[in-house]
Amino acid sequence: MSTKKSNPKKEIVLQGIGVSPGLVVGPAFLMKADDKLPVARDITPEEISREVSRFEAALVTTKEQLHKIQKRVGKAMGQESASIFDAHLLVVDDRAFIEEIIRELNAKKKNIDAILEYVSEKYISALSAFEDEYLRERAADVRDVTRRILKNLAGENIKSLDQLKESCIIITPDLSPSATAMMDKNKVLGFATDIGSPTSHTAIMAKALKIPAIVGLHDVSVRVSTRDRVLIDGDKGVFILHPTQERIDQYNKVAQVRSSIQSGLSALREKPAETKDGYHLPLSANIELPEDVEAVIENGAKGIGLYRTELLYLVSEELPTEDEQATAYEEAAERLFPESVIIRTLDLGGDKFVSHIRKVPELNPFMGWRAVRFCLANLDIFKTQLRAILRASRHENVQLMYPLISNVNQVLQCNALLEETKDELRKEKIAFNEDIHVGAMIEVPSAALTADLIAPHVSFFSLGTNDLAQYTLAVDRVNEQIADLYEPTHPAIIKLIKRTIDTAHQHGIWAGICGEMAGDPFLVPLLIGLGADELSVSPTNVPKVKDIIRNVTYSESEKLASEVMKCASGKEILERCQALTRKAAPEILELID
């Protein structure tokens, strides 16, 4: 970090979301949003074919540019990072998107630039309205590709961050994944944006490039001017404009401490997730695609506790075939053998639907036709997936689980279909694991309260704490007006978790936790004390969670859980959990918000 003389201007501290770790100080470079809208003009019927030709040429050019970017990223950062641009290429190749643009062109008889802007905004608005964070972030991909096509239609050069003359910290309202990919790491020290989230492709690219980054700063782009001195703390999301020399010296010391902590966490990769008094707690990871397996291995997780399969459907123009699914599941199973790979059956519905599946409009989709309910109403789709999972199970480390179970009858129906599918494979002489383990996800209160009825029909429970909290508290997690009511430590949630785990043990099966609570360093000791048999977290959270596990004892975790069961508020429960984490692993506090 630099240590130039302090700036006499008043220091301003802003809080955003840290999406790529690291501390950096340097001069700002303000990159203004390129939001110039195309001017709409009327065209004659005779001009339509010319506009279509312009559009097709711009699509070809855009596709060539994206392939070049993808190739460059693949060489510099590996195929996992390069695969991010598959989503961009899907937009360029999306026949439904292109055909709608041509239809609107013929109907409205406006220039293709204006029509493209109009149709893409419809897509962007629809995607932005989804609750699912992954889908919301796909709006950014559509916006990025649309800007690129518009530039190519206009014959304009696309600004690139690989031509900067001097080192700087990029400040901008938003940053597209393609712009991020073109950054010159020797010149871009870090970046900060007004909008964005941890799951955006821009955030993922920043991590891959190891560039400190903060998003969600709201108005940083109007507060900062080019050459202003700024400080970025990518770990905690702190952005400081005009930092004092005293502040810079303080952060230099913080950087040294964090570097030492991270080295210690990296050294834990091969060590067991075991408490100080010898209690072993399996620590696995959550993934969405086969490419994520590399991060599982790099971070020292033992297997996959949640393989979300719906992304295979969401990124495909058609329903993925049995062979395509089996290949994806087997890839993970082979790489991680003998560690277990738990595949969650399709959790479409709610805010996750694809254009090639018929969807009936619903007033309240999150309470409606989703997950196992959708699968049991679409047996052909469900059976295709069960066949693929069973085929992958020949490696004998594959397990499956049903999402959003609300009653035992759903489990019985799913199990009956599974047995029917096994019979088909036997007749076809296709190998599979006859003894594949089957689990139920406990995500709604009715499942937690009737866990004793469900347990005899499954091999394990997996608690999805995100939905469990949402449905128990009747709180929409992304509604800012009631965000303060979303409280995972609410006594009701803790009691439902405890009840479910105890019921599982009484029936001789295990119970794991795969929701956000499992990856929260403050809550890990509590989950240990409640009796959780496994935690499954995002790959990047594995080292921090493992450090917590290795620094507490089972006995003090059990004592914490016992005390918590008597607490009257979620705030009191959280405070007790935080106190234990601060005492057992204070170093972790330096790495979390």
For residue 148, tell me if it sits in a domain: yes
Residue type, 291: E
Residue 514 is predicted with a pLDDT of 93
The alpha-carbon radius of gyration of the chain (Å, integer) is: 25
Evaluate whether residue 513 is within a structural domain. Answer: yes
**pLDDT greater at residue 256 or residue 418:** 418
168 three-state secondary structure = strand
Look up residue 28 and give its amino acid: A
pLDDT greater than 80 at residue 230: yes
Same domain, 284 and 255: no
Domain closes at, from 202, 232, 264:
264
pLDDT tens-digit map of 270-310: 899 999 999 999 999 998 888 889 889 989 999 999 998 88
List, in sequence order, every residue forming a beta bridge with 25; answer none if it has no partner: 231
**Does residue 456 carry a pLDDT above 70?**
yes
What's the pLDDT band for 2 if we cut at 50, 70, 90? very low
Statement: residue 539 has pLDDT above 60: yes
Q: Which of 264, 286, 303 is the last residue of a domain?
A: 264
- 572-585, pLDDT tens digit by residue? 999 999 999 999 98
Percent of the chain past pLDDT 70, that is, above it, reads 88
| Residue 260 sits in the same domain as residue 292 | no
116 domain residue, yes or no: yes
Residues 24 and 79 in one domain: no
How confident is the model at residue 342, as a pLDDT?
Answer: 97
Which burial class, exposed, middle or buried, applies to 169 when counting CB atoms under 10 A from its CB (0-12, 13-18, 19+)?
buried
**What are the two backbone dihedrals, phi and then psi, of residue 304, each rounded to the nearest 5 degrees?**
-120, 120
Residue 158 has pLDDT above 90, yes or no: no
DSSP state letters, 257-281: HHHHHHHHHHTTTTS--B-TTS-B-
The verdict on residue 198 lying in a domain is yes
| Burial classification of residue 398, based on how many CB atoms lie within 10 Å of its CB (0-12 exposed, 13-18 middle, 19 or more buried) | buried
23-32, 169-178, 415-424: range with lowest mean pLDDT: 169-178
Backbone angles phi, psi at 259, to 5 degrees: -60, -40
Long-range contacts of 131-137 (CB under 8 A, 24+ apart): 131/350, 131/351, 131/366, 131/476, 131/477, 131/478, 132/350, 132/351, 132/352, 133/197, 133/199, 134/199, 134/288, 134/311, 134/314, 135/314, 135/351, 135/352, 136/197, 137/197, 137/199, 137/200, 137/201
Query: Does the active-site annotation cover 514?
Result: yes
What is the Cα–Cα distance from 23 to 237, expressed in whole angstroms? 10
Could you give the CA distance from residue 27 to residue 5 in angstroms, rounded to a whole number? 13
Average pLDDT score over residue span 356-370:
56
CB count within 10 Å of CB 484 equals 8
Report d(CA 306, CA 289) in Å as an integer.
Answer: 11
In this structure, the answer to whether residues 412 and 497 fall within a common structural domain is yes
Q: How far apart are CA 361 and CA 523, in angstroms?
A: 38
Q: Which residue has the higher pLDDT, 407 or 71?
A: 407
Structural contact between residues 459 and 438, judged by C-beta atoms closer than 8 angstroms: yes
Give residue for tokens 């008597």: 566
Question: pLDDT class for 229, splitting at 50, 70, 90?
Answer: very high
CATH of the domain at 227: 3.50.30.10
Residue 334 forms part of a structural domain = yes
pLDDT digits (tens, 9 = 90+) for 487-502: 999 999 999 999 999 9
Angstrom distance (rounded) from CA 513 to CA 461: 8
113/255 same-domain check: no
Q: Which amino acid is at 152?
A: N
* Other beta carbons less than 10 A from residue 553's beta carbon: 16
- Same domain flag for 338 and 404: yes
pLDDT at 368 > cutoff 50: yes
The per-residue pLDDT for 349 is 61
Whether residues 101 and 205 share a domain: the answer is no
Residue in the structure block whose two tokens are 């970046």: 191
pLDDT surpassing 60 at residue 358: no
User: Within 13 Å and on the Cβ side, how many CA atoms surround 337?
Assistant: 13
Q: CA nearest 73: which of 168, 205, 210?
A: 205
Beta bridge partners of 169: 28, 190
Q: How confident is the model at residue 138 (pLDDT cuts 50, 70, 90)?
A: confident
CA-nearest of 134, 437, 141, 431 to 289 is: 134
- Residues 390-401: what's their mean pLDDT? 96
Please name which of 347, 341, 349, 348 lies closest in space to residue 400, comparing C-alpha atoms.
Answer: 341
Q: Are both 52 and 89 inside the same structural domain?
A: yes
For 252, the enclosing helix (H) or strand (E) is helix 245-266
In this prediction, residue 228 carries a pLDDT of 93
Do 447 and 304 share a domain, yes or no? yes
Render pLDDT for 313-342 as a digit per residue (tens, 0 to 9).
Answer: 766 667 889 999 999 999 999 999 999 999
The highest-confidence range among 45-59, 135-149, 431-445, by mean pLDDT, is 431-445
Residue 1 within a domain: no
Non-local CB neighbours of 297 within 8 Å, separated by 6+ positions: 335, 336
- CB–CB of 501/532 below 8 Å? yes
Same domain (yes/no): 123, 257: no
Q: Who wins on pLDDT, 205 or 256? A: 256
Confidence check: pLDDT of 352 > 50: no
SS3 of 198-245: the string is CCCHHHHHHHHHCCCEEECCCCHHHHCCCCCEEEEECCCCEEEECCCH
> How many domains does one find in the chain?
3
Question: Which residue range forms the structural domain that includes residue 217?
Answer: 12-34+160-264
Q: What is the CATH number of the domain that holds 93?
A: 1.10.274.10
User: How many angstroms separate the Cα of 200 from the Cα of each of 97, 192, 308, 475?
Assistant: 22, 14, 18, 24
The verdict on residue 356 lying in a domain is: yes
Contacts of 260 (CB under 8 A, 6+ apart): none
Q: Which of 201, 375, 395, 577 is catalytic?
A: 201
Q: How many CB atoms lie within 10 A of CB 162?
A: 14
Residue 40 maps to a domain: no
Supply the DSSP string of 155-167, one letter for each residue.
TPPPP-TT--SS-
229-233 sheet: strands from edge to edge: 12-15, 238-241, 229-233, 23-30, 168-172, 188-193, 213-215, 17-20
200, pLDDT greater than 80: no
Tokens standing for residue 576: 């007790």
pLDDT band at 473 (very low <50, low <70, confident <90, very high): very high
Amino acid at 355: S
Q: What is the CATH number of the domain that holds 559?
A: 3.20.20.60
Question: Between 130 and 508, whose confidence is greater?
Answer: 508
For residues 456 and 548, membership in a common domain is answered with yes
- Which of 97, 131, 154 is a domain's end point? 154
What is the 8-class DSSP label of residue 37? P
H or E stretch at 169:
strand 168-172
Token output for 53: 């030709």
Question: Is 567 a catalytic site residue?
Answer: no
Q: Residue 538: its pLDDT value, please?
A: 86
pLDDT value at residue 27: 95
Mean pLDDT, residues 556-580 taken together: 96
Does the pLDDT at position 476 exceed 60? yes
The pLDDT value recorded for residue 96 is 83
Range in 57-71, 412-426, 452-466, 559-573 with the lowest mean pLDDT: 57-71
Per annotation, catalytic residue among 375, 414, 514, 577: 514
Q: Same domain, yes or no, for 200 and 64?
A: no
